Amino acid sequence: MRDKIINWLKENVSADRLEHILGVEKMSAELAIIHKVDPEKAAQAGLMHDLAKFFPPNKLLEIAQKEGLKFDSICANHPHLIHADVSAIVAQENFGVKDQKILDAIRNHTLGQPKMSLLSSIVFVADAIEPTRGNTQELENLRQISRKNLLKSVFKVSDYSLQFLLNAQRVIHPRTILTRNWALSEVIKADSLHN
Ligand SMILES: [Fe+2]
Ligand SMILES: [Fe+2]
């Protein structure tokens, strides 16, 4: 199965993207062990999270429409945002993935989702901080936090990606903010229980 997926990826994504994907696969499995989630499932979700990354906008929209996927006007205007949902469709159709938690983790990797599962949180975080993303102090800090406090890293990674989007003057999908606020409030709740 893994070899089949990697061979498919070699045909459908760039060499750099494949390195990133393998980084997400490995880091998802590592975080899963630390946070007591099935590392097999985390590795599979990581390996398949960006299947549709290089699909052109019209192909993304076509597949989404064919599957009856509901998407808002921001996604309609920026189809790249739905590569996560379409990757889950490809995982189902090409590789027979049926596990809803794995499919959700693939769907949630770009924008997150309030109340998302540990598995989804792991892939969301690993996508942003796996080794090929760089070695800045900020990324190193995020990597440390991800091992100690997963929800804290979800809100920090959301902030990191919001800052990137603001600096690059790119469109921000409100779900990133909803994800951030959810994780932040969970962290505050947990902190108040401990103090
Ligand atoms: Fe992605
Ligand atoms: Fe990715």
Residue 49 Cα, ligand 2 centroid: separation in angstroms? Answer: 6
Residue reference for tokens 């892939």: 123
Question: For residue 11, what are the contacts with CB-CB under 8 A and spacing of at least 6?
Answer: none
Residue 128 Cα, ligand 1 centroid: separation in angstroms? Answer: 9
**Ion ligand 1 — residues with CB < 5 Å:** 50
Residue 18 Cα, ligand 2 centroid: separation in angstroms? Answer: 9
Residue 147 Cα, ligand 2 centroid: separation in angstroms? Answer: 19
Contact 118, 33 (CB under 8 A): no
Q: What is the pLDDT along the chain (195 residues), one digit of tens a residue?
A: 999 999 999 999 999 999 999 999 999 999 999 999 999 999 999 999 999 999 999 999 999 999 999 889 999 999 999 999 999 999 999 999 999 999 999 999 999 999 999 999 999 999 999 999 999 999 999 999 999 999 999 999 999 999 999 999 999 999 999 999 999 999 999 988 777
Residue 73 Cα, ligand 2 centroid: separation in angstroms? Answer: 23
Q: Which of 52, 55, 72, 54 is nearest to 175 (CA)?
A: 72
Between CA 46 and CA 184 the distance in angstroms is 24
Residue 149 Cα, ligand 1 centroid: separation in angstroms? Answer: 23
Question: For residue 60, what are the contacts with CB-CB under 8 A and spacing of at least 6?
Answer: 52, 79, 80, 82, 83, 86
> What's this model's pTM, rounded to 2 decimal places?
0.96
Residue 112 Cα, ligand 2 centroid: separation in angstroms? Answer: 12
Residue 191 Cα, ligand 1 centroid: separation in angstroms? Answer: 31
Residue 68's Cβ-side half-sphere holds a number of Cα atoms within 13 Å equal to 0
